[in-house]
Amino acid sequence: MRAIRLILTFYSSFALASSMITLSCISIIYTWGINSFTALFWFKIITLGLIFYYINSSKRDEFYYYKNLGFTKMHLWIPTLLLDFILFLTLMVLTLKFR
């Protein structure tokens, strides 16, 4: 339970930016269809890379909070990036299905 709480707290530090990017991708795929999927897929990957770099730099002091509770950077990044990307893929597929 504490693990989920900590991971969600960490995710909240970039969830808004990431959600905005996902929503933009959804609106584009809704307009342009399956042909835009490959470009949007790589766009999402690149923006997640930028977020990763930005958070590692801007929140670098806060990683000590998580480490003092037994959570390394890997423990935080792997589940949050997976969660975010699965959410992105799911919403993209659903958008294509109900378009």
- Our finding on whether 9 is near another protein (CB under 8 A) is yes
For the CA atoms of 23, 58, 78, 88, what is the dihedral angle to 10 degrees? 0
- Our finding on whether 56 is near another protein (CB under 8 A) is no
* Rg, Å, the chain Cα set: 15
Query: How deeply is 38 buried, as exposed, middle or buried, from its count of CB atoms within 10 A (0-12, 13-18, 19+)?
Result: exposed
What tokens were used for 91?
A: 């919403």
Q: Which stretch binds another protein (CB under 8 A): 9-17, 19-27, 34-42, 86-94?
A: 9-17
- Our finding on whether 70 is near another protein (CB under 8 A) is yes
Tell me the number of residues near another protein by CB under 8 A.
16
Q: Which stretch binds another protein (CB under 8 A): 31-39, 40-48, 54-62, 83-91?
A: 54-62
Question: For another protein, which is the closer residue by CB, 67 or 99?
Answer: 67
